[in-house]
Amino acid sequence: LIKAVERLSGKPFGSLFVISDDPRIASDKAAHDILSGAGANAPVVFVSEASNDKDAANLMLQGGHVALPHEVLKKMNRNLLLDILWAADQASYVVGNGRSGVSQAIAQLLGARFKMDPNFLGLWEDDTTTLECLQETRDIAWLVEP
C-alpha cells in the first residue's frame, strides 16, 4: 500500500513510523522488508515496547498480551497512547489494518486535525476493495479474509 500512496500522491514518504507490539518488527530484516516493499528511501522509526525487554518479548511471542505482567502491560498501553497522539500530530495519513484500534484511532485524530472524514486519510491492508483497485496490490487481494 505504501507504493500506491506514493504513486497516487506523487510524493515520496518523508519518513515511516511503524507501531507494533510484535517484538520481531524491530529486526533489521523487518526494516529491510518494509523499505524494499515501500520502495522508499525514508527513514523508519520503529516502536515496539516489547522488543526493549527480552523477557516481555518472549512472553508476548508465547502467549500474547495476556501473558504479560500487569505493570508491563500498563506501561505498554501508556506508551502506545503517547505513540498514537504523536503519530496523529505528525502524520498526513495512515496505512494500517482497519481492524486495528490503533490505526482507527490515528485516522480519527487525523480527521479531526484536518477537519476531514477519517476514511479519506487511511488505507487499510485488510480492505479487499482497496487492494483490488490498486495495481500494486491487485494480485494479493485474494489473501485478505473477506
Note the pLDDT of residue 134. Answer: 77
- Cβ atoms 97, 130 nearer than 8 A: no
Note the pLDDT of residue 29. Answer: 80
Note the pLDDT of residue 105. Answer: 93
User: 56-102: per-residue pLDDT in tens?
Assistant: 878 888 888 888 889 988 888 888 898 899 889 988 888 887 678 88
All three cell numbers of 105, joined, read 484511532
pTM of the model: 0.74
Note the pLDDT of residue 127. Answer: 78
Q: Which helix (H) or strand (E) holds 129?
A: helix 128-133
The dihedrals phi and psi of 83, each to the nearest 5 degrees, come to -65, -40
DSSP per position, 60-95: HHHH-GGGS-HHHHHHHHHHHHHHHHHHHHH-S-EE
All three cell numbers of 31, joined, read 526494516
Please tell me the distance from the alpha carbon of residue 114 to that of residue 9, in angstroms, as a whole number.
17
